[in-house]
Structure 1
Amino acid sequence: MMMKMTMMRTVSFGVGARRTFLALVLAVLCALRSARSAHHHHHCNGPLLSLLPPTSFHSSSVSSESHAGYYAKLNNRDGGGGWRPDHTDRLRWLQVDLRERMEIIAVATQGASGSSDWVTRYTLLYSDTGRDWKQYRHEDYAGVFPGNTDADGVVHHKLPHAIRTRYLLFLPQDWSAEGWIGLRVEAYGCSYKSDLADFDGRSALLYRFNQKSMSTVKDVISLQFKSVRSDGVLVHGEGQRGDYITLELQRGRLALHINLDDAKAHPSSAHVSISLGSLLDDQRWHSVLIERFNKQINFTVDRMTRHLRSGGIGDSLEVDYELSIGGVPLPGKPGTFLRKNFHGCMENLYYNGVNIIDLAKRKKPQIYSVGNVTFSCSEPPAVSATFLSSSSSFLQAPADLSAMTETDSGETSGWSAGFQFRTWNRDAMLMWIGLQGVEKLVLLLSDAQLRLTHHRSALQSSEITVGRSLSDGLWHSVSLTLKENQASVSVDNDSPSSMMLGRHARPGNTVLIGGCPASATNQGCRNPTLAYQGCMRSIVLNNRPLDLYRVQQGLLGNYSGLQIDICGIQDRCLLNYCEHGGECSQSWSSFSCDCSGTGYTGATCHNSIFEMSCEAHRLAGSSSGFFSIDPDGSGPLTHTVVYCNMSEEKVWMVIGHNNSKPVSVQGSSFQKPHVMKLNYSASLQQLTTLLHRAQHCQQEVVYRCRKSRLFNTWDGTPLSWWKDRAGEKRTYWAGLLPGVQQCSCSLAENCIDMNHFCNCDADRSSWENDTGLLSYKEHLPVTEMVVGDTNRSGSEAVYRVGSLQCHGDRFLWNAVSFYQESSSLHYATLHAELSVDISFYFKTTAPSGVFLENLGVRDFIRLELSAPSTVAFSFDVGSGPLVLTVKSHVPLNDKQWHHVRAERNVKEASLQVDQLPLRFLEAPHDGHARLQLNGQLFIGGTASRQKGFLGCIRALTINGMSLDLEERAKMTPGVSAGCPGHCSSQNRLCHNRGRCIERNSGYVCDCTHSAYGGPRCQTEVSVSFESGTSVTYTFQEPFSVTRNTSVQSSAIYAQSSRSRENIAFRFLTTKSPAMLMTVTTYQQQYMAIILARNGSLQIWYKLKREMEPDVFTATEYNLANGQLHRVQLHREGGDMWIRMRVRSTASPQTKS
């Protein structure tokens, strides 16, 4: 009753409180569900294999009878003390039949007792039927389990998510270097009971309500399903007012549609649609949970949850008569359905606590069955095979399957082939058919289309193309027919396309599927691009199905690089590791991120292409102008445009707002004040970050008044005020600190009336002034002005709020000195699960030392100076330690500043030191993605207090967040704030990218990487060109190319998103046309900056050999006017930014 009373009282809540309450209710429901789950797993951890009979264990082979599969129980010492396969066995598997479906929460392994045989790495597969296996994968898609390091030690693995299955299959991947494979296993869990219903694609269950209509404010629907098809309705209910709920598969994803409003009165206002999951037609069990309380909805598919809120005004879901399961029957027409039906199996389907399948099994009157619904799951319809390698996978069909059939008249009746496939790859070999002589038919996947090519000779061929978007990961069916002198091909039961072959086609003795083996080269079979990577099933040759089990046993045909009875496809974009709005695309074995237009770059769009402050732009040699600033680098905030004023010694960042003109106020009062809101070009979060980074910020408030007071002269009540960035009311004015209700004249002791602290409070009829600067950073900028005392005769106020101005970067020279090897700075655990970037400067005279370290239970990350000339970046993500090093040609312990930037993400790791080539290390295939850390982050040392760093570190930034090293050093022994030396301050000793180098008696500026010369790199270096002259500079090849010299790797580099240019120069000329600059690569790419005949500036880019160059006209002005012009160009992948300072009578312009 208490719960009911509380729910009734919610009608009086405000909107915010009500939303909070609803969210709390759903959170409580989730917590209760989690508690029940935890309680269940506490009692679901018993050993399952120890009591199984010997007949439950099967294996691919045994080395002897004493090493049979039934000796593979954990801690068993009988027989040979474990399972050992034969040394000639290339399959190597151990299968366990649990006798019924069980819930498995953990597994454990041992080697063979008292031997040198054990398994170091293995994969785990599971199945309900002993066929059609699925590989167990962790949350990050890693599918390999670490095994044993000796024979008798037990290695346990708790499964992150439990599996429900009858059969387990252990596949050793690596084993003892001292011996052979030896394995003893155990699985932990409990029995699993369920209610099953099988739908054949033409059937449904109808759950009919006791009353005409069911109206609910709370719904909970849960079920598990496995599907044969990628489309079909699982659950549907609707009402006459327009309410409905539909759960259906759409192209392998699960979509939930809900509408709570009267569709006629409020069309589409409350409709909500959301999709989750991928590849859900894989005939594997998937769990679904829908929780709704009023408008709050939780939708969960396989542990992935989305929270959403429906629109409209209705809170209840009204469903009339019945809820349909598996399809939507058309009323009055038995066997006819409105939408595509579900084809597959469901279990444990609950609707608001009602077990619908149990009611159907017991033939309760609430359930009406349409078509053939059975209560056990049918066998999978076909055996799948996974082609694993893009270079060596193939399946060779024997001659008897490809033989021509004879009619009674002795004439050939034709030949046919068919199969189904699913893949992410856009290009691949699918089938090769040898014909008479040198003729052959080749069926390819080409740019996600199906292409059939008839090769008459090396120079003569014809082809047809059918289908599109066939690399979408869904199943597609292919049919190929040869009849007389004609070949026909069709996809997904579309109308076939045909071509003439010139004569009767007779296939030879071989049909190759998926690729060409090396032995078939003399037959003219070569993979035109890549061998096939993906799944195939239902392979039929000349109306005879190909028995893949016989192929696997070596009784039929031949194969390589195949897994039979498993489809190993996975959606690598489902979790979408692309950051900052990058678009994910994938092939069979990897994914890539398109960062175009995001303002970020890198393998996962992690790194901002913009500087973090105006100070950084000055150090890069830029002059005053508008710049894009990313205040938190690789963090979640996007970039914003600010003006950088570099005309003074201090660099000022200027951020404007929407009302910079003077505002005159009359007629306002304390009760009805004038209010002006200010909106800035940067968001509140961006402003906060920029202010936090700056050394000093200020904002001018010009305030003029006559007979308009700022404070009530009797009791000091504020009559006018402003609001800070948090929206808080502030009553102090320019030049004062918070809490002091005064103006700047009181600080200067020059107020016109010494009885008041503000000039305006003198309340004179003459114009007075309380103008000044607000400079308390924590309150800036001004977001609202409120003026209240202008309603008396002659009263008026005029104010103007200036731009926010900041200078300095307090983290760029935030430095500490480590002078004890055992000392280090401690911070909270590094948040680096999926990606982390680390950037800092160091200088030292020590030969080695650890810059940074963070440990986990097994994982770790470390950056160190491992030798005087070498920086090492090492980490372990659960797949074993990896080390990436950069070796300099000069010592790095030379007491000079050196810059280090390291990054690790799910695709790769990178490390760069100073201007040395960037080094990359690809992430292990099928390895773990998440870096699990739980200890403290150590800066300048390690957890063991050994190998500490001696020297200076500054400007340490991790994932876009700069650490205040100096503040932490104040409370840490062995570490001091700041760093001694001329080059350790933020005073600009060397300009325009010049490098400051310490000397015993001072410093010098190295201007090697600057376009300027002189003692402080401030003198322009220029050159005068006569007609026909030029300067050529040859760059060192980037490491990403020199480490791979193959044509293929060069092509990969040519298309790499890492390619970028930063170009800046000034020029003057009176001649056009003219070539100002050209850059070429050995892949026949080029970039050129030219003056056209009319003097306009053009940029030509050719990044792909087969395409015409892109031409951009940066400005239409005639720049061949004898004036000095500046050009800045930045390109990142497909995006280009151009900035120009044009000296002309017209105003300058910027194009991008």
Structure 2
Amino acid sequence: MRHFPLKCNFTLKPFILQTLPLFTSGLYTFLQSEPLWQLSIHHGPLSHSGGWSPMVTDQEPWLQVDLREQMEVTAVATQGRYDSWDWVSSYLLLYSDTARAWKQYRHEDGRFVGNVNSEAVVQNKLSHAVRTRFLRLVPLDWNPSGWLGLRLEAYGCSYKSYVADFDSRSSLLYRFNQKSMSTVKDVISLRFKSHQAEGVLLHGEGQRGDYITLELHRGRLDLYLNLGEIRLRFSSGRVAVTVGSLLDDQQWHSVHIERFNKQVNLTVDSHTQHFQTKGEGHSLEVDYEVSFGGIPLPGKPGTFLRKNFHGCMENLYYNGINIIDLAKRRKPQIHSVGNVTFSCSQPQLVSCTFLSSSSSFLSLPSAASATGGFSVRFQFRTWNPDGLLLAVQLNPEPQRLEMQISNILDLHNPTYSTFNVKCSYLGPRVNDGLWHSVSLNTRNLQITLAGLCGKRLCHFHPGCPTVDCQYLTPAFQGCVRLIFINSQPMSLNQVQQGLLGNYNELQFDTCNIRDRCLPNLCEHGGRCSQTWSSFSCDCSGTGYSGATCHNSIYESSCEAYKLIGSSSGFYSIDPDGSGPLGPAQVYCNMTEEKVWTVLTHNNTAPVTVQGSSLYKPHIMKFNYSASAEQLRAIVSGSEQCQQEVVYNCKKSLPDSAIPLIPWVPFMCKQTSSLSHQTSNYWGGFLPGVQQCSCSLEENCMDMNYFCNCDADTDAWANDTGILSYKDHLPVSQIVIGDTNRTGSQAVYHIGPLRCYGDKSIWNAASFYQESSYLYFPTLQAELASDISFYFKTSTPSGVFLENQGLKDFIRVELSSPSVVTFSFDVGNGPAVLSVKSHLPLNDRQWHYVRAERNVKEASLQVDQLPLRFLEAPADGHLRLRLSSQLFVEVSVSFDMESSVTYTFQEPFSVMQNRSSQASSVSTESSSRAREDVAFSFVTSQRPAMLLTVSTFSQQYIAVILAKNGSLQIWYHLQTDRSPDVFSPVLTNLADGRLHRIRIHRVGKNLYVQVSSGEKYTLSSDAELILIRSLTLGKNLNEEVMQAAFKGFIGCLSSVQFNHVAPLKAALTNRGSSLVTIRGPLVQSNCGALAESTSHTLQGKHSHTLCSLTRPRTPPLVMSRSMNLHSQHCIFSLCFLTPVANIRSPTQTEVKAESVCGLLTQKTIGVGRVRFWGEKSIFLIMQNKTCTN
């Protein structure tokens, strides 16, 4: 018999509460005590002895907590069982008001981070508080070397609750003191819990046509709002704003409506929809009353216009008025219709969830029916378009009935028998996520299939096809409740306790359905559809393609169309590619050497103007074939744009005594659609000069004026020019006056907008040193990003693009001469895509790279090589959170006391959000154990500590130089074994030259590359369990210190461990709690030293900017500082090096010279030689400046 998990009851005190255990009658009850409430089942509170641990035979354990009343819970914390190897490393959190209908608390992938030992406390703050009475913790992972156990702590507070229960035939009416109420601002808030997918929550209307209606429809919340627009009141196509989904789940949902004039915000739970009302009205006028729970028909008590709400409302406020409180106190403003009670009813609708489409099932016995035959009825909900819903064994065997979903319900007999049946329920599709009722009754070889909208009769037909008529279909994936077999209810509680039937891969007491299309992650108007475990996007008609409709199917410019061989014609261009702007229709003129993009407007023909004056001018607005945002993108992305303006005039000047100044500000004004500025110049001249082109060309018909039309002659004059100032293009409006005199007339023509050139094509940048870089703002690509570029190089490896956040990162790199790698981490662990070419890519030829990442998948394209894809996990993290900029190559220098430590996880006592959880490594399978380490170094010291990685479980990796300068790699993966030590290079690497090390491990296989690659085998394939820190330089681990002596003196650059770049974090995030710097650390560019030009630290300095150098005498290797204003030095740190052997611990002042690269000015620094250790000495510079 299955062991039933313990239930633990405790109470909360406002804000932070503590309880002490009291064992009574087999249950554990907890009483209020200190300022925190804590749970420890056996002996005492959190951080004391004891803890909960289920029986080992319990295959599905969980811990349930009763708070005695509804509380607002804001955080939970766990600790392992006292003095044991029992802890929970990850878990789910569920909550419920009834302890029968549970809902999972979701944030990103839904998992909460647990413990890695039995003593540390891990706290998880809820991103949004939940109001609940019951909590349930479901362990997912625990200590593989022990068992699961925990001590529990929660944070929260009590709150005031006003509840009303509506039974689908009742409502509350709030009646105004006056006939009508007119408001320009409304604030309405409530919480509701519904038993049905339909029902009116709120309604009010006025005689002028105003109305507001909030109602549930198909499990979503619709808001209808009209402000005085009469035609909308009687329109059958009333527009509703829809928010939320699956709101009929018997769980509390919060609603908040804010309106100011025409601007409205509708928020349901954490989803907000902003919209603007139609029409010209700004106020909402409601007559007599506002109803809640239904729309009663006037004069007919108990009759309602729409389906009423069935469920509970809590804390209902209408413009600051507590409606339920007034109703409870029987105030005269409130009128109650039907039976409204002030406690929330709790119907026992117990559900179970079928989790797997391959192995979930529920097998129930069927008692004999008194009337013969077999009958079953139940309710189900699902997103899947197919699945085996029911299978029934009939007599005589092997007859069997199967009911399956194929968008609709199908019922058939798939067995070889004397009878065969196949019928379908031809109603609405049933994979819409809503609850559907179905009943099946077999009597006298007749089957009745009942659905939502009626019945369909099906009969057995003799015979079966000669081919196998068994219909194979996936298992049902969804939720089921209210099961009756032969009119007898089936208790899911007894099934859960092992007292009834059998099951596999089921989750009880909850319908764990979720809407993966809320929010809609399809871009550019793509239509979202879903199954139980994933969603897909229909991009047809959007102009975009890809898994999330991210990629434009159109070129970005006419220039791009010409490059692919197109000729002149009309084309759709997408000026921002995959950005938010849609495609625009343009004409591409490719008959000239330049490719012209032409955008026309609605008034291209000449326009004659008469009768206008300065006070009653002629105004013409121009509408283009693209939106203002599209025009802005096209103009800014083009090399040059222009627009011809033609103005013919005859006696067109003001008839008042206005000084003869340029006529443009008075007669004609041009307004740019981009800058919304009024231009005071005409075509062919510069902005702000107030002249025409004839003045610039000195050919005006009267040289006393700056424009031909200023001459005010009876003859026709012309002022024509080209507007080419991009910030003022295109012209969106023209205003003309002074054509109201006798004989006065004007004719104007505004030509189309014409642009040429694409600034995004062949905008190359060259990188001549490893210390070169480009600096861009943080990549804004939480849900989707695409990166494309061409490159050519002769170097064997290098980073193309990198952006990092606190934990997340994205990187594109040439990882070897023939491999391009695209890697990123959004919180699910590093994901890597690689494309390998059969030919080297560092051949000084142009190569194309395109990398894309979205919530569905990632892809990498290199030249014409096969496209590589990587699917995203169905329930993982979605958002890529970045904070840094693009960096290429980082160098740091150290002295003996210097070190950089990068901490992978904040201290466990710090409150953690899931989005910034620990960088832990999954413990699901040791075969996944892998590390990728890469760095460059320059040193003359031996022995030397280069890099160490340590975990909370006393594991470590160490890379050192031994006494003879050879490279050693230490792997200590199991504390009960000696470390594995490898020496891939026996020659002396402490030679003052630049060396590049790459280490890659998969399971037991270790690959090391210095000059050539070598493979080694470890004694264990264990993973690093919850990495604690990575240290460069001196390390505090005693065992590793004994092997590598003390510290490191030299230069480290381009350090990378999996997705972490600790040197970049040290340089750009000084002050971060994740980075610890010990001792002097100076920026240097020693990473820019190439093997072909590098020299020993005893020789000449390199001809590379910011290189290390030393004077010939005395025999000291000096430190150098950097000019912070030099772009070439900004990512380098220089380091202090050993200077001599001194036998006595005395201090001697010395003089040293520091040279910054090839800079001509030298700075003399005075420092001290300090005794350290037995033989090692280093220099501390007191003056470290270097200027141009």
- 1:823–1:948 CA contact under 8 A, matched in 2: no
> Partner of 1:603 in structure 2?
547
Q: 1:663 to 1:588 in 2, by over 3 A?
A: same
Deviation for aligned residue 1:904: 1.7
- 1:97–1:166 CA contact under 8 A, matched in 2: yes
Matches within 5 A, 1:758-907: 758-762=707-711, 769-788=718-737, 797-907=746-856
**SS state of the match for residue 866, structure 1?**
strand
- Aligned to 1:78, which of 31, 42, 49? 49
> Partner of 2:87 in structure 1?
118
> Partner of 2:529 in structure 1?
585
> Partner of 1:924 in structure 2?
873
Deviation for aligned residue 1:633: 0.9
> Partner of 1:1107 in structure 2?
none
Partner AA of 1:882 in structure 2: A
Q: Does 1:678 align with 2:622?
A: yes
Offset from partner CA, 1:995-1016 (integer Å, 9 cap, x none)? xxxxxxxxxxxxxxxxxxxxxx
Q: 1:456 to 1:727 in 2, by over 3 A?
A: closer
Offset from partner CA, 1:937-978 (integer Å, 9 cap, x none)? 547877347999999xxxxxxxxxxxxxxxxxx9972399xx
- Aligned to 2:62, which of 70, 89, 93? 93
Deviation for aligned residue 1:926: 1.2
Deviation for aligned residue 1:569: 0.9
**SS state of the match for residue 889, structure 1?**
coil
Separation in structure 2 between the aligned mates of residue 803 and residue 536 of structure 1, nearest angstrom:
63
Partner AA of 1:429 in structure 2: L
Deviation for aligned residue 1:602: 1.1
Deviation for aligned residue 1:294: 5.1
Separation in structure 2 between the aligned mates of residue 673 and residue 810 of structure 1, nearest angstrom:
40
Q: Does 1:193 align with 2:160?
A: yes
Q: 1:439 to 1:69 in 2, by over 3 A?
A: farther
Separation in structure 1 between the aligned mates of residue 209 and residue 591 of structure 2, nearest angstrom:
66
Matches within 5 A, 1:214-363: 216-238=183-205, 244-261=211-228, 273-293=240-260, 295-311=262-278, 317=284, 319=286, 322-330=289-297, 335-363=302-330
Matches within 5 A, 1:585-664: 585-664=529-608
Q: Please say which of residues 333-342 and 862-871 is displaced more in the overlay.
A: 333-342
Q: Does 1:915 align with 2:846?
A: no
- Aligned to 1:724, which of 643, 653, 672? 672
Separation in structure 2 between the aligned mates of residue 70 and residue 676 of structure 1, nearest angstrom:
80
Q: Count residues with an aligned counterpart.
A: 877
Partner AA of 1:586 in structure 2: Q
Matches within 5 A, 1:492-511: 492=452, 494-500=454-460
Deviation for aligned residue 1:170: 1.2
Matches within 5 A, 1:1058-1077: none
Q: Please say which of residues 202-211 and 468-477 is displaced more in the overlay.
A: 202-211
Separation in structure 1 between the aligned mates of residue 605 and residue 240 of structure 2, nearest angstrom:
46
- 2:415–2:470 CA contact under 8 A, matched in 1: no
Matches within 5 A, 1:743-1142: 743-762=692-711, 769-788=718-737, 797-938=746-887, 943-944=1064-1065, 973-974=1127-1128
Matches within 5 A, 1:464-543: 464-466=423-425, 467-492=427-452, 494-500=454-460, 528-543=472-487
Deviation for aligned residue 1:693: 0.9
**SS state of the match for residue 481, structure 1?**
strand
- Aligned to 1:553, which of 476, 479, 497? 497
- 2:555–2:561 CA contact under 8 A, matched in 1: yes
Deviation for aligned residue 1:536: 0.3
Q: Does 1:137 align with 2:106?
A: yes
- 1:454–1:462 CA contact under 8 A, matched in 2: yes
> Partner of 2:122 in structure 1?
155
Deviation for aligned residue 1:78: 1.3
Partner AA of 1:345 in structure 2: C
**SS state of the match for residue 778, structure 1?**
helix
**SS state of the match for residue 149, structure 1?**
coil
Partner AA of 2:198 in structure 1: D
Separation in structure 1 between the aligned mates of residue 654 and residue 885 of structure 2, nearest angstrom:
51
Offset from partner CA, 1:341-370 (integer Å, 9 cap, x none)? 322222222233333333444445555544
Separation in structure 2 between the aligned mates of residue 794 and residue 339 of structure 1, nearest angstrom:
68
Offset from partner CA, 1:455-490 (integer Å, 9 cap, x none)? 452797321211222111111111100112211111
- 2:394–2:401 CA contact under 8 A, matched in 1: no
- Per the normalisation by structure 2, the TM-score is 0.68
Separation in structure 2 between the aligned mates of residue 319 and residue 723 of structure 1, nearest angstrom:
43
- 2:39–2:151 CA contact under 8 A, matched in 1: no
Offset from partner CA, 1:130-158 (integer Å, 9 cap, x none)? 221110012x5x31123233332222221
Q: Please say which of residues 619-628 and 661-670 is displaced more in the overlay.
A: 661-670
- 2:170–2:308 CA contact under 8 A, matched in 1: yes
- 1:234–1:326 CA contact under 8 A, matched in 2: yes
Q: Please say which of residues 265-274 and 373-382 is displaced more in the overlay.
A: 265-274
Separation in structure 1 between the aligned mates of residue 513 and residue 277 of structure 2, nearest angstrom:
34
- 1:645–1:653 CA contact under 8 A, matched in 2: yes
Separation in structure 1 between the aligned mates of residue 280 and residue 243 of structure 2, nearest angstrom:
26
Q: 1:73 to 1:631 in 2, by over 3 A?
A: farther
- 1:817–1:950 CA contact under 8 A, matched in 2: no
Separation in structure 1 between the aligned mates of residue 626 and residue 457 of structure 2, nearest angstrom:
57
- Aligned to 1:444, which of 393, 403, 418? 403
Partner AA of 1:232 in structure 2: G
- 1:708–1:790 CA contact under 8 A, matched in 2: yes
**SS state of the match for residue 604, structure 1?**
coil
- 2:354–2:360 CA contact under 8 A, matched in 1: yes
**SS state of the match for residue 455, structure 2?**
coil
Separation in structure 1 between the aligned mates of residue 72 and residue 722 of structure 2, nearest angstrom:
69
> Partner of 1:167 in structure 2?
134
- 1:829–1:854 CA contact under 8 A, matched in 2: yes
- 1:721–1:787 CA contact under 8 A, matched in 2: yes
Q: 1:239 to 1:676 in 2, by over 3 A?
A: closer
- 1:56–1:98 CA contact under 8 A, matched in 2: no
Q: 1:495 to 1:271 in 2, by over 3 A?
A: closer
- 1:122–1:145 CA contact under 8 A, matched in 2: yes
**SS state of the match for residue 128, structure 2?**
strand
Deviation for aligned residue 1:688: 1.4
Deviation for aligned residue 1:320: 5.3
Matches within 5 A, 1:383-398: 383-398=350-365
Unaligned runs of 5+ in 1: 1-42, 60-66, 407-411, 504-523, 952-969, 977-1152
Q: CA RMSD in A?
A: 3.7
- 1:870–1:885 CA contact under 8 A, matched in 2: yes
- 2:15–2:158 CA contact under 8 A, matched in 1: no
Separation in structure 1 between the aligned mates of residue 289 and residue 631 of structure 2, nearest angstrom:
55
**SS state of the match for residue 750, structure 2?**
strand
Partner AA of 2:349 in structure 1: A
Q: 1:53 to 1:634 in 2, by over 3 A?
A: farther
Offset from partner CA, 1:528-581 (integer Å, 9 cap, x none)? 221111100011111111221222222222111110111011111121111111
- 2:414–2:470 CA contact under 8 A, matched in 1: no
Deviation for aligned residue 1:902: 1.7
Deviation for aligned residue 1:105: 0.8
Matches within 5 A, 1:362-373: 362-364=329-331, 366-373=333-340
Partner AA of 2:363 in structure 1: Q
Unaligned runs of 5+ in 2: 1-11, 29-37, 891-1060, 1068-1084, 1091-1123, 1131-1188
Separation in structure 2 between the aligned mates of residue 354 and residue 68 of structure 1, nearest angstrom:
40
Q: 1:723 to 1:932 in 2, by over 3 A?
A: same
Instruction: Name the % identity.
Output: 61
Partner AA of 2:841 in structure 1: L
Q: Please say which of residues 121-130 and 85-94 is displaced more in the overlay.
A: 85-94
